[in-house]
């Protein structure tokens, strides 16, 4: 049971808000030594675990790249594009992105899009610009946050209900493995086919919600109070 001391160290370290990297390293060393390893062996196992999973951290390289692009005016360019094409329907814009996200997700291209790569720097600013054009002025902050939430939801719902259509996706293989243990033998293609009606239902339900979004963005009277989070 002494090897569980690593869990206690993790909990304590995060509770006192210590450096996460330092906390994880100390917890790994403590657990290794409690299991009878010497410090050199514990460090070796820690290094091996990091090396085996090093590809997981590559996705974090996207964050500074997006930050540099935003600093270089990516969001401003997205807003200018909406102004040029004179689009004043953020709901239809988000619906178009929803459909695109579902299509690429069904093909296994889940990295095409996403909160960091697309929603924050491009889709959300474009939706805000379309809403400003529709209402004829600067958006109140609650309404701006409400639109950003819709942009994020469009991405999440689209990919969540479409990625299982791709037969080689991890969740499909996990479902197949679980069913095999229960004596239910199904091919991955059979599971993928049954994911199609769910994706269509998600498109209909969320698509209707996005189409109603444009009706809620009519220009308010001059004396109208700023919209709340639930009712823009």
Residue in the structure block whose two tokens are 């498109």: 203
| SS3 state of residue 112 | coil
Res. 156: pLDDT tops 90: yes
The verdict on residue 221 lying in a domain is no
Structural domain for 70, as ranges: 61-215
Q: Which helix (H) or strand (E) holds 8?
A: helix 5-15
Q: Into how many domains does the chain fold?
A: 2
Domain membership flag for residue 34? yes
Regarding whether 87 and 22 lie in a shared domain, the answer is: no
Question: Do 141 and 122 reside in the same domain of the chain?
Answer: yes
In a domain, 157, yes or no: yes
Predicted local confidence at residue 53, as pLDDT: 61
Summarize pLDDT for 13-53 with one digit per residue, the tens: 888 888 888 888 888 888 888 888 888 888 887 777 777 66
Distance CA 141, CA 227 (A): 9
Do 26 and 71 share a structural domain? no
Same-domain check for residues 175 and 147: yes
């Amino acid at each position: 049971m002494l090897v569980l001391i690593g869990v206690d160290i993790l909990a304590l370290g995060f509770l006192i808000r210590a450096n996460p990297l330092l906390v994880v390293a100390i917890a790994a060393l403590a657990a290794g030594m409690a299991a009878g390893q010497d410090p050199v062996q514990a460090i070796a196992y820690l290094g091996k675990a990091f090396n085996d999973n090093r590809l997981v951290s590559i996705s974090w390289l996207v964050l500074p790249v997006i930050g540099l692009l935003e600093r270089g005016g990516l969001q401003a360019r997205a807003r200018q594009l909406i102004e040029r094409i004179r689009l004043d329907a953020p709901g239809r814009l988000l619906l178009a992105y929803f459909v695109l996200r579902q299509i690429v997700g069904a093909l296994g291209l889940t990295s095409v899009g996403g909160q960091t790569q697309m929603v924050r720097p491009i889709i959300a600013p474009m939706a805000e610009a379309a809403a400003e054009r529709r209402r004829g002025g600067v958006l109140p902050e609650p309404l701006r946050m409400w639109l950003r939430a819709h942009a994020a939801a469009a991405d999440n719902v689209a990919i969540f209900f479409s990625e299982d259509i791709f037969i080689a996706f991890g969740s499909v293989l996990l479902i197949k493995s679980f069913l095999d243990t229960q004596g239910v033998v199904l091919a991955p293609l059979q599971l993928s086919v049954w994911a199609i009606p769910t994706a269509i239902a998600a498109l209909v339900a969320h698509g209707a919600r996005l189409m109603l979004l444009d009706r809620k963005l009519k220009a308010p009277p001059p004396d109208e109070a700023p919209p709340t989070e639930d009712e823009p």
